[in-house]
Amino acid sequence: MNIIDIITKKKNNQELSYEEIKYAIDNYVSGEIKDYQMSSLLMAIVINKMTDEETINLTKVMIESGETIDLSMINGVIVDKHSTGGVGDKTTLILAPLVASCGVKVAKMSGRGLGHTGGTIDKLESIKGFKTTLTNEEFINQINDIGLAIISQTKNIVPADKMLYALRDVTGTTESISLIASSIMSKKIAAGASIIVIDVKVGNGALMKTEEDARVLAKLMIKIGSHYDRKVVCVLSNMEEPLGFCVGNGLEVLETIESLKGNGPRDLNNLVLTLGSIMISLAKNISEEEAKKELIEKIKNNEALEKFKQFVLYQKGDINEIEIAKEKISIKSSHDGYIKSIDTFKLGEIARKLGAGRLTKNDVINYGVGFIIHKKVGEILFENEELLKLYTCNHDIIISEITDCFEISEKCPEKQNLIIDIIRL
């Protein structure tokens, strides 16, 4: 068995065996198989896809590439949440402390940005001193103490996924249902939670561009979860425009704090309450309506905000020191009209070029750059009114690139629903 034969087999659209997948992944982790060879295999997978059995086998191999976390020492029901990635998606930062403030334990292992989409760990690292790596013992103790911990992947937990994730980010191999499903579920299963709620983004700013593909991904992740005796629920949500107003790591943390104060954007708040209601309902065996009321009360009485502050403090962060670029550029509209559509993918790529994401594996994130959008789809815009405020250290950005992302029309367009569907087993 050798990697060339495996690449050729998948290039010819043939199904790989468990042994072949294991050979490729194990030898990539050990360094025997090089980046350029694995890139070829990933591209063949993107082009020719994988069967459900291949995907389940890939997930198994990635889990077995490292350690898993035993959460049996944690008291109470443990839930986890994941997003398939979008632009301006800071949901986890709001949702995790909110759910924990309701007495449900949140054990979360998050990723960095992937392609044009932001990453929870990058956002948290915009907080001065924030520690995203914990030992298993520290992780478990913190959850027992305050009900919440969010960590990055360690070298020992699903190392295969960590390596593939970074490689996919810079080789144009992010948009594969099987690679996305195995990446998410290997981390979720290794992290140990028994209840997993997944926000599957759909639209031009998401990895899943169509509702059809999103449903396939959701059902596949539920199938993998069932294989490992995990309860998985998937929420399909609209990513035809950025979520909330802020895009960029530090800016999104600021928006998180405002949301936990009850001042967040309506779309972001609605998504948080939808996801949180499912998590609380499953964990406490109550109705989603009851769960939603509990979540709203925790925002009103500031318990969710205090839980976020406690969480940041526990992981050595300074909530008063969030990195924000000092240079601001106001971008204004050239004429009147309604926002008909937003090229969310292109906006994500602009944020990435600003330095909010990575173009190569070794790029260093600029946590302070990004932008605040002042107008969303369906809203009226007047000539010379501020459309967006840019926070930057990069003087090469062409303003027209940003304004071209916004289509303005004379008629008010019909707004799409944020929550498309909820898929359960």
Residues labelled as active-site residues? 82, 161, 168, 183, 187
Q: What is the DSSP letter of 366?
A: -
- Packing angle, helices 211-227 and 177-191, rounded to 10: 40
Edge-to-edge strand list for the sheet holding 246-247: 246-247, 370-373, 386-392, 327-332
State residue 424 phi and psi, 5-degree precision.
-125, 165
Instruction: Work out whether strand 148-152 and strand 195-202 pair parallel, antiparallel, or are unpaired.
Output: unpaired
Q: What is the DSSP letter of 359?
A: S
Edge-to-edge strand list for the sheet holding 380-381: 380-381, 337-342, 406-409
| Residues linked to residue 421 through DSSP beta bridges, in sequence order | 236
| Residues linked to residue 148 through DSSP beta bridges, in sequence order | 106
Question: How is 130-180 classified by DSSP, letter by letter?
Answer: ------HHHHHHHHHHHSEEEEEPPTTBSHHHHHHHHHHHTTT----HHHH
Question: How is 1-40 classified by DSSP, letter by letter?
Answer: --HHHHHHHHHTTPPPPHHHHHHHHHHHHHTSS-HHHHHH
**Separation CA 102–CA 300 (nearest Å):** 13
The C-alpha angle with vertex 306 and arms to 303 and 307, in degrees rounded to 5, equals 85
| H or E element at residue 341 | strand 337-342
